[in-house]
Structure 1
Amino acid sequence: MARDLRGFIQLLEKRGQLRRIKALVDPDLEIAEIAQRLLQCGGPGLVFENVKGSPYPVAVNLLGTIERACWAMNMEQPQELEALGQKLALLQQPKPPKKISQAIDFGKVLFDVLKAKPSRDLLPPCQQVVIQGKDLDLNQIPMIRPYPGDAGKIITLGLVITKDCETGTPNVGVYRLQLQSPTTMTVHWLSVRGGARHLRKAAERGQKLEVAIALGVDPLVILAAATPIPVDLSEWLFAGLYGGGGINLAKCKTVDLEVPADSEFVLEGTITPGEMLPDGPFGDHMGYYGGVEDSPLIRFHCLTHRKNPIYLTTFSGRPPKEEAMMALVLNRIYTPILRQQVSEIVDFFLPMEALSYKAAIISIDKAYPGQARRAALAFWSALPQFTYTKFVIVVDRSINIRDPRQVVWAISSKVDPVRDVFILPETPFDTLDFASEKIGLGGRMGIDATTKIPPETDHAWGDALESDPDVAAMVGRRWAEYGLGDIDLAMVDSNCFGYEIP
């Protein structure tokens, strides 16, 4: 895997999906406002070359469309992502091959794992410039402030790298960081995340936790770090599997951690257990400002960067946002893994408008009564990232789950709220969800929108309306003859809502 952030920017530029802005712009609110407008209309990625208060350019909105997020994964179409998901599903729960072809497929996957192992770079580009001591000033990095009510400047697409003090196993996560001073930042992570676990272990031993922040990496590595799939593989190996070859890592200057060698910036520091500062409020993915929380304080003592570095950033908020596009791409990768966990699931979809995880639509090949409820309950426990999904809608396999018209029709025509809606009260919940009466505790709803079979119902179900196949075929042949050849029926039927329809 030879690509870095600069290579991805060049790819977007070559394909007409990047604009370079030479006018002077302010990282305080202005950059986010420009990017926000382009995100709303599926506009190009941006590189701001003249940023107030910093000598470094800012890249944003690089993953602002499903198409570009697929390119980040070295793929052209969302459908290709399922092949990668099948590979990861096989690694998660390998089964003894029963056929020669299955043995060959498993051998190919093992070979891909060997190719995906990271390599070491002794002269890494990320250490071309080293800044330590009194010269260190984080204000030189052009961090943005997206919303007027935000508490300060933030880092959003940094890889936060820590290590288990007992096993030495690294964790790579994408967490929000707030600038607190020229040499300190707070990190906002959930207690279940790897970095938080490492900090608790360090505290038990009375040790500081070493931290490295890698900024401006290949977006493929960010997608790998943001993939919470329960496979016993490191994020670096994931990135190698995603990219088809191992990434280059470099040892940090002052902490015992490794970072992508082609990072644009690397921050090195430590967290003293118990040292906290208020973090927030900030605009979050729910579309509201979050609260203020005491969060761990990172004290940085070293900054390294490439010559003429580029700062990569994004911001959260009500969709569409870059994080939503990333989620739609990862949705495709999850699908084969979820099928392996819940065998009756044919397909599933996490709509962007539902914040990419608050509502799930599942299609099943229904074979027995009560199966839809079983599938919904199994979904909630299949993978950790589905813990905070509020609504699960289960439909028949004939429903195109990526077409809101079909899903709403299924709910409207197949659901009796008394019989087909069930609620699980007071379950662990997302602390950013203000709809819950108790923060961190909320309900979940399952909706069975499948066709009912006895004993789910005691009356016959009407036959679905369908065109006469011979007449439909004839009309298709004569379409141009009617003078309607300029109307593409495939486009009318499929992509009205901006989703890719398989």
Structure 2
Amino acid sequence: MAKDLRDFLQLVEQRGQLRRISALVDPDLEIAEIANRMLQTGGPALLFEQVKGSPYPVVVNLLGTVERVCWSMQMEQPQELEALGKKLGMLQQPKPPKKISQAVEFGKVLFDVVKAKPGRSLLPVCQQVVKLGPEVDLTQIPMIRPYPKDGGKIVTLGLVITKDCETGTPNVGVYRLQLQAKNTMTVQWLSVRGGARHLRKAAERGRKLEIAIAIGVDPLIILAAATPIPVDLSEWLFAGLYGGKGVQLAKCKTVDLEVPARSEFVLEGIITPGEVGTDGPFGDHMGYYGDTNEAAPLIRFHAVTHRRDPIYLTTFSGRPPKEEAMMAIALNRIYTPILRQQVSEIVDFFLPMEALSYKAAVISIDKAYPGQARRAAMAFWTALPQFTYTKFVIVVDKDINIRDPRQVVWAVTSKVDPIRDVFILPDSPFDSLDFANERLGLGSRMGIDATTKVYPETEHPWGEALRSDPEIAAMVERRWAEYGLADLVMGEADPNVFGYDIR
């Protein structure tokens, strides 16, 4: 596990995936424009060494490829993440082991939990420089403004840390914050998120809510905080499970909260219930400007601590590809074993980046009875909280490569009768950022059964799928070079496999 952001930057640079830029750049629009062009081409992470208006460098596009997301989790391929998902699934719904081998496996998982417990740092580097009261000046931090009509400068990859005033349980989330003045920011979070719940509880008891923002942490911790998997674990323990080693935490200077000890910046403040500011509009992940929120909670900061020569880590939302989409593709692999545990007939599932990594899902099932595809779609929508906002679910047979859009489109067009195989659920709770809905926050969902139909779903026998002769296919593979085609990629033998895989 990398100790911090700097360790990971060093790894990325050693692998030729970091570009240092010494030219002076403007955090207002320019940095985002450069980074967006890199994201479109799968380019390297960018470290801007000279930023207008700030003494601090800026890193962006650090997690701009699935490959780099995997590196941040000490893995090389997304497929390796399924082993982690299996481990988390065992913790979520432990079952009595029936075999010695299962008992040993579960024992290893419990040992991993022990190793993942967070530690404490007595001399945290995040507090090498301490600024209190009138010394606090957030305008010195090189926050970016990504789009021309954005309402202001933003923090996007900060860990927002709060605590339940009754139980003392902390919550770590990743929410957008907007700079308002030299010592104030607004925070934009959904009402179902942990920070919003903590603020409501504090308001009910007439208390102020303490808050800390940790910026520039090990990307693995960001991924842990952004993963909404229903496991009864703290985000710190979750990050330790991701990395195989406990996160080192430090007590804040002025609030009763803990932050990663090797953060680049830490902002400490309070929210007074009812004190609000105007937040937005901002370019959002849907590809549009979001609405202005005139009642966003206002944070007043009274302390800023940071490392010597700190590095500012940032990103921005928008129509894919963006860093958040690359993170989602990798995390999709973690969800898969957990989803299989919740819905046993699901073989695999995929959330396409082009569908904003959550608006559409493709599910493959091992179909055994009529109506099973509809059951799988309904179960998917209720399996994990984040799937509540999935607008379209397409269910296909297990032999379809769900990551190949040509195969999925073939299944939909060749196996679907819309009047029989499409079903719609009206008036469902929905994402308030989805402007396609007639009423914001309330919308419909569509399920599409693109599986092969069985009786009584259809009254006639289904046609037999085309297949190559296996002996001829093997012979062609052996003689491919003999045909003089060695310099050309050989397609799959099965005509139903289109030879295109975006895994």
Band of TM-score, shorter chain: over 0.9
Match of 1:461 in 2: 462
**By how many angstroms is 1:495 displaced?**
7.8
Cα deviation, 1:4-62, whole Å, max 9, x if unaligned, reads 10000000100000000000000000000000000000000000000000000000001
* Alpha-carbon distance in structure 2 between the residues aligned to 1:16 and 1:251: 36
Cα deviation, 1:444-464, whole Å, max 9, x if unaligned, reads 000000000000000011000
* Alpha-carbon distance in structure 1 between the residues aligned to 2:347 and 2:222: 28
Pairwise CA RMSD of aligned residues? 1.1
**By how many angstroms is 1:138 displaced?**
0.2
* Alpha-carbon distance in structure 2 between the residues aligned to 1:426 and 1:111: 45
Aligned residues: 499
Match of 1:87 in 2: 87
In 1, are the aligned partners of 2:70 and 2:78 still within 8 Å (CA)?
yes
Match of 1:338 in 2: 339
SS at match of 2:68: helix
**By how many angstroms is 1:381 displaced?**
0.4
Cα deviation, 1:174-193, whole Å, max 9, x if unaligned, reads 00000010000000000000
* Alpha-carbon distance in structure 1 between the residues aligned to 2:483 and 2:42: 35
Match of 2:148 in 1: 148
- The letter of the residue matching 1:409 is W
Match of 1:222 in 2: 222
**By how many angstroms is 1:491 displaced?**
9.9
* Alpha-carbon distance in structure 2 between the residues aligned to 1:292 and 1:489: 53
Match of 2:298 in 1: 297
* Alpha-carbon distance in structure 1 between the residues aligned to 2:499 and 2:285: 25
Q: 1:23-422 to 2 correspondence within 5 Å? A: 23-293=23-293, 294-422=295-423
Q: 1:2-13 to 2 correspondence within 5 Å? A: 2-13=2-13
**By how many angstroms is 1:277 displaced?**
1.0
* Alpha-carbon distance in structure 2 between the residues aligned to 1:473 and 1:330: 37
Q: 1:494 to 1:112 in 2, by over 3 A?
A: farther
**By how many angstroms is 1:278 displaced?**
1.3
**By how many angstroms is 1:3 displaced?**
2.1
Cα deviation, 1:243-296, whole Å, max 9, x if unaligned, reads 010010000000000000000000000000011111110000000000011210
**By how many angstroms is 1:327 displaced?**
0.3
* Alpha-carbon distance in structure 2 between the residues aligned to 1:238 and 1:484: 50
* Alpha-carbon distance in structure 2 between the residues aligned to 1:491 and 1:189: 47
- The letter of the residue matching 2:54 is S
Give the fraction of aligned pairs with identical amino acids, expressed as a percent.
80
Q: 1:407 to 1:178 in 2, by over 3 A?
A: same
Question: Structure 1 residue 437 and structure 2 residue 428: aligned?
Answer: no
- The letter of the residue matching 2:255 is V
Cα deviation, 1:99-139, whole Å, max 9, x if unaligned, reads 00000000000000000000000100000000111111000
Cα deviation, 1:302-339, whole Å, max 9, x if unaligned, reads 00000000000000000000000000011000000000
- The letter of the residue matching 1:132 is L
Match of 2:452 in 1: 451
Q: 1:2 to 1:121 in 2, by over 3 A?
A: farther
In 1, are the aligned partners of 2:113 and 2:241 still within 8 Å (CA)?
yes
Cα deviation, 1:409-450, whole Å, max 9, x if unaligned, reads 000000000000000001000000000001110000000000
* Alpha-carbon distance in structure 2 between the residues aligned to 1:173 and 1:157: 10
SS at match of 1:95: coil
* Alpha-carbon distance in structure 2 between the residues aligned to 1:496 and 1:471: 22
SS at match of 1:50: strand
The unaligned stretches of length 5 or more in structure 1 are none
In 1, are the aligned partners of 2:345 and 2:366 still within 8 Å (CA)?
yes
* Alpha-carbon distance in structure 2 between the residues aligned to 1:452 and 1:352: 29
* Alpha-carbon distance in structure 1 between the residues aligned to 2:200 and 2:207: 10
In 1, are the aligned partners of 2:349 and 2:362 still within 8 Å (CA)?
yes
The unaligned stretches of length 5 or more in structure 2 are none
* Alpha-carbon distance in structure 2 between the residues aligned to 1:366 and 1:496: 24
Q: What's the TM-score, normalizing by structure 2?
A: 0.98
* Alpha-carbon distance in structure 2 between the residues aligned to 1:162 and 1:380: 29
Match of 1:19 in 2: 19
Cα deviation, 1:135-170, whole Å, max 9, x if unaligned, reads 110000000000001000000000000000011000
Cα deviation, 1:188-221, whole Å, max 9, x if unaligned, reads 0000000000000000110000000000001000
Q: 1:494 to 1:456 in 2, by over 3 A?
A: closer
- The letter of the residue matching 1:455 is P
SS at match of 2:178: strand
- The letter of the residue matching 1:332 is R
- The letter of the residue matching 2:359 is K
* Alpha-carbon distance in structure 1 between the residues aligned to 2:2 and 2:292: 41
* Alpha-carbon distance in structure 2 between the residues aligned to 1:189 and 1:208: 17
**By how many angstroms is 1:2 displaced?**
4.7
Q: Could you tell which deviates more after superposition, 483-492 or 248-257?
A: 483-492
- The letter of the residue matching 2:117 is K
Match of 1:472 in 2: 473
- The letter of the residue matching 1:346 is V
**By how many angstroms is 1:487 displaced?**
1.4
- The letter of the residue matching 1:331 is N
* Alpha-carbon distance in structure 2 between the residues aligned to 1:133 and 1:403: 55
**By how many angstroms is 1:496 displaced?**
4.8
* Alpha-carbon distance in structure 1 between the residues aligned to 2:90 and 2:98: 14
**By how many angstroms is 1:490 displaced?**
6.2
Runs of 4+ in 1 over 2 A off after TM superposition: 488-497
SS at match of 1:448: strand
Q: What's the TM-score, normalizing by structure 1?
A: 0.98
Cα deviation, 1:342-396, whole Å, max 9, x if unaligned, reads 0100000000000000000000000000000000000000000001000000000
* Alpha-carbon distance in structure 2 between the residues aligned to 1:16 and 1:495: 30
- The letter of the residue matching 2:71 is W
- The letter of the residue matching 1:130 is V
